[in-house]
Chains A and B, each alone.
Chain A
């Protein structure tokens, strides 16, 4: 383990991977939504409160913020907040399903280097994508990509959650990105939010994990992965990207009502550090929360402690363990040695469910996994 990893595990003065979900409202209802979005929460931060958060991020010298949701562009003050951030030197990468990225929006976005756009797409074909993201969503995303590309936006991101159903389309995703002058970003399906209901049937199989690892090694730094796949580094050489769990140390989430969680994939009371309104602002929570202080202490490797691959894999993703009901100190549910399989089989029931759930009612009634079958 190198010195920088240690530094990161002890936490930084400000996050380097801060996600801010602006709203729980969304015009889609993806089965695996990590934030269980759907309906707006009446307590969502006002424009003035959002501006105050951005003022703080500027003071803390947060280089950029990953804006998501829900669908962030449905907020009426979205464009205003975008300008407000970039005028203060806080870069914005925002994730969108593309529904509002018309030619005018694309032209506006291309005009500042402080803004980056991530279009979400979970199937290279409509058939695979729309089963997860809903009818018409493939066409919507491709139209947005065309608009960005036509406006001359270079290197925007095509963001794909890797699943059992699309893992054999990686080459096609790469081609799609290349054709549009975009960069491919692959992320891990985590059992967070509504993802908890579909993880068992959608997460890549052990064989697919191996193929994915080899594909990632082959493509190196041309494909972005954030901290998604460091648990696969245990297959051999480390993958490019952040090779540790940065939750509460370099990673953090501000949710639409101002609650601060250790990680965007850990929306649960267990990982709630505070609230930007009630606890005196984001910086106070980041620097002072007891939860974050604990996360920045050396962590026990538990059952992974005796594994020779621990230095590479670090026991994997905390959120993936938590939401599959596995102990936090111990192997990742997708441990490449299969060391979690027994524990997964013996789970008495489903793991913990996300605390706030803003799914629209038809999703709350029963498992949204059912919609996969249509």
Chain B
């Protein structure tokens, strides 16, 4: 499954997020995988991603500087690969 920042994404219902000093830990109960969200910006982005019509808009709303957009998009793509975030409207 590819990552399309033009569409809507949400946090998988199988995932729990725990804030930590460096950002957050995310745990997927289905795959039993632990992921690291290595900044508080990424944590907030992931937590709020379901409130936006597209991932791109979530990134814009998250106050992430233009120069860093790509980094955050690729972080989201990684999280999509491991099923931490899922395309909205699709079954998890």
Contact = CB atoms under 8 A, between A and B. Distances in A.
Nearest to A116: B32
B58 to A, nearest CB: 23
B34 A12 contact: no
Contacts of A116: 32
B18 A114 contact: no
B21 to A, nearest CB: 7
A13 B32 contact: no
Nearest to A14: B18
Contacts of A91: 27, 29, 32
B21 A13 contact: yes
Interface string A287-298: 000000000000
Contacts of B25: 12, 16, 63
A114 B14 CA distance: 10
A4 B20 CA distance: 12
A3 B21 CA distance: 12
Nearest to A115: B29
A113 interface: yes
Interface residues of A, number: 15
A313 B63 CA distance: 40
B18 A4 contact: no
Given A3-B38, A63-B27, A91-B29, A13 B18 contact: yes
Contacts of A3: 22, 38
Interface in A264-306: none
A12 B20 contact: yes
Contacts of B30: 113
Contact of A114 (B22, B29, B38): B29
Interface string A100-137: 00000000000001101000000000000000000000
Given A91-B29, A113-B29, A114-B29, A16 B21 contact: no
Interface range for B: 10 to 19
A66 to B, nearest CB: 12
Interface in A35-74: 61, 63-64
A113 B30 CA distance: 6
18 contacts: A3-B22, A3-B38, A4-B22, A4-B36, A7-B20, A12-B25, A13-B18, A13-B19, A13-B20, A13-B21, A16-B34, A61-B18, A63-B25, A64-B29, A64-B32, A89-B16, A91-B27, A114-B29
Interface of B: 14, 16, 18-22, 25, 27, 29-30, 32, 34, 36, 38
The 7 closest A-B pairs by CB, nearest first: A63-B27, A61-B18, A7-B22, A113-B29, A12-B20, A113-B30, A13-B20
Interface of A: 3-4, 7, 12-14, 16, 61, 63-64, 89, 91, 113-114, 116
Given A4-B38, A16-B25, A113-B30, 19 more contacts: A3-B38, A4-B36, A7-B20, A12-B21, A12-B25, A13-B18, A13-B19, A14-B18, A61-B18, A63-B18, A63-B25, A63-B34, A64-B27, A64-B29, A64-B32, A91-B27, A91-B29, A113-B14, A113-B29
